[in-house]
A and B are shown apart, each in its own frame.
Chain A
């Protein structure tokens, strides 16, 4: 059973870069059958899709964040990562990683990581 686990600093200063990693266990990120996504959720608010990556390195980003987001993959470590630059308090949220199938008709998010809270504050 595939499991995802987010990790990274819980506190980031304004204007700096947020960096998170999602470690995949129970399956290979290199299988090619999946996209690996980042999703975030400010406290008390809804879910916002940030972007996704395929093991080939192909990415898609949410246009609302595209100028500040970079998602990368490290197949040797079975991990993928998120970098969000020039953060502000508005980027304070719980960040989740999740998996989707590459087939559009199977592309729901499952499973999800447990999430990690990132606070942007000086």
Chain B
């Protein structure tokens, strides 16, 4: 079973800073079937990115995804207060059970 590890656990940034969130697999995956979700306080998760780099409908172009193999990243070019959330990665494409990374909490100073 592949284990997905997100880092850092918490990211504290100032408005306008660049955020880089990591999602790492315990072994290489042959596909870029990687999704990122944003969960704002008190809300359900929302799809941000699929296919490692494709933004979902209505998602700001400040959000971008990349990576392959074992290392994937979510980048927020200039963080805003509205980006306060926990971000989860999830690899799909394989047979269930599906698992999520443990999440990265983004705080704004």
Contact = CB atoms under 8 A, between A and B. Distances in A.
- Chains A and B come from one and the same complex: yes
Interface of A: 37, 46-49, 51-52, 60-64, 96, 100, 104-115
A96 to B, nearest CB: 6
Nearest to B92: A107
B37 interface: yes
Nearest to A6: B44
Contact of A46 (B43, B50, B88, B97): B88
Interface string B84-102: 0000101011111111111
A115 B45 CA distance: 10
B33 A104 contact: yes
Nearest to B103: A46
B45 A96 contact: yes
B47 A105 contact: no
Nearest to B93: A104
B94 A108 contact: no
Contacts of B95: 60
A39 B33 CA distance: 19
B42 to A, nearest CB: 9
Nearest to B100: A47
B92 A108 contact: yes
B98 A49 contact: yes
A108 B47 contact: yes
A51 B46 CA distance: 19
Contacts of A100: 92
Given A62-B96, A104-B33, A104-B93, A110 B47 contact: yes
Given A104-B33, A114-B44, A46 B100 contact: yes
A49 B44 contact: no
A105 B33 contact: yes
Given A47-B100, A52-B96, A108 B46 contact: no
A105 B32 CA distance: 9
